[in-house]
Amino acid sequence: MWIPQAVLNAKRILLIVTGGIAAYKTPDLVRQLIKAGASVRCVMSKSAEQFVTPLTLASVSGDKVYTDLFSLTDEHEMGHIKLSREADVILVAPATANTLAKMAHGLADNLVTTLLLATDKPVLAAPAMNVRMWEHVATRSNVELLKMRGVKMIGPDEGEMACGEWGDGRMAEPEDIVLTLNAFFNAAAPLSGYSAVVTSGPTVEAIDPVRYIANRSSGKQGHAIAEALQDLGAHVTLISGPVNLPDPVGVKTMHVESARDMERAVDDALPADIAVCVAAVADWRVDGEASQKLKKDPATSNEGGAPSFDMIENPDILAGVSRPGANRPRLVVGFAAETENVIEYARAKLAKKGCDWICANDVSPDTGTFGGDVNTVHLVTRTGVEDWPTQSKFAVAKQLANRIAEHIKALSEDLKPGESA
């Protein structure tokens, strides 16, 4: 597995702590940053002091904690302009919805926002808030605006909130923040300069204007993989069927419905260095979609009784992407969702489709994989099978992204980004 090099030695980090319950994680974050070799200076908003004390952060950082914009002593000894520019990077953790909004719109009404507006250094933010606040259009718009200005988001993670709700909004764990900072300071992120196409979710195939054929794919695994590849520096295009998930922040996302729509979108997204076909594409569609709603009542039905359909095969997107040619990615990864003979069928699919790897998983109803939050993956390659542990779909995504980065690194000894193997 690719692990970022420890490049935090002697790096100066200005940690800005704002008023979310996740502030309780910041003493551990400071300890881990210092253990990795960084020096940490802390700034706190007034609301952050409701969750962790300045004395606690001063004790773990070994430095004074700054809280007041109008402290004459601080302004004389360490003006907010100087404070904002002495660091190598500014880390806002937790970054509340309120702070992100102020950052996006250039407000400077306290020490935190004044520092952020005055700095000329890179800024990273670890959002933390209720899932409804994270999904609100105002927050999404603010985050997109900040990312366009170069602010890097770390997380948020999915999980249980302090309020009892479940979803995206938990601040990333301290170890993940440290790893992200390592990657940030590493001039050669493992997938920097490479492009990736990821398909996700189900496709839906129309029967008539109100009915369709689909499957139970939630898109959680595909979306997580798109984010994990982006975290390692790849430029990612996510092509998603209909799902009940927000678009990953910073990932170019294309929304499609049918298999034919997805095939066209994939063709438009190529060439790319990496393709990961996670989507559960419907194998068949109705030959001749009805233009009007089919009626159950024999008196109003053209044929009377239950309708019958002729089915035709949908395009094979994975086989098409794997086909040799100028646009073939150097690494093509497919997914095999099976309910029996998982490894056997995955090996057959690998040979038939012509891809490089297959991630095989059991989607039997009792596994809870379709629509659930965990997955058990077997990575099938031409040289063998890797049995991965049952873990969250986010963990699967990170493991696969690291495995891809490791493979691309090996190939890059002879090839440059954009060239085919």
Burial of 373 from C-beta contacts in 10 A (0-12 / 13-18 / 19+): middle
Rg (CA), the chain: 25
- CB count within 10 Å of CB 283 equals 14
Please state, in angstroms and rounded to a whole number, the distance separating the CA atoms of residues 184 and 51: 28
The residue assigned the tokens 């962790």 is 52
370 three-class SS:
coil
Nearest to 171 by CA among 138, 134, 226, 211: 134
Give how far Cα 268 sits from Cα of 262, 353, 420, Å.
Answer: 10, 20, 18
Give the length of the chain: 421
- 393-411 and 220-231 helices, crossing angle to 10°: 50
Q: Read off the DSSP letter of residue 47.
A: G
The structure tokens listed for 244 are 């009940």
Burial of 193 from C-beta contacts in 10 A (0-12 / 13-18 / 19+): middle
Amino acid symbol at 179: L
Name the β-bridge partners of 384: 381
The 235-240 sheet, strands edge to edge: 252-255, 235-240, 195-200, 274-277, 331-338, 357-362, 377-381, 384-387
Contact indicator for 170, 210 with CB cutoff of 8 Å: no
Tell me the catalytic residues: 163
Kindly give, in sequence order, each residue whose CB lies less than 8 Å from that of residue 385, ignoring residues fewer than 6 positions away: 343, 378, 379
Kindly give, in sequence order, each residue whose CB lies less than 8 Å from that of residue 326, ignoring residues fewer than 6 positions away: 271, 420
Amino acid symbol at 311: M
308 three-class SS:
coil
Amino acid symbol at 138: A
Q: Kind and range of the H or E element at 111?
A: helix 111-118
The structure tokens listed for 194 are 């490479």
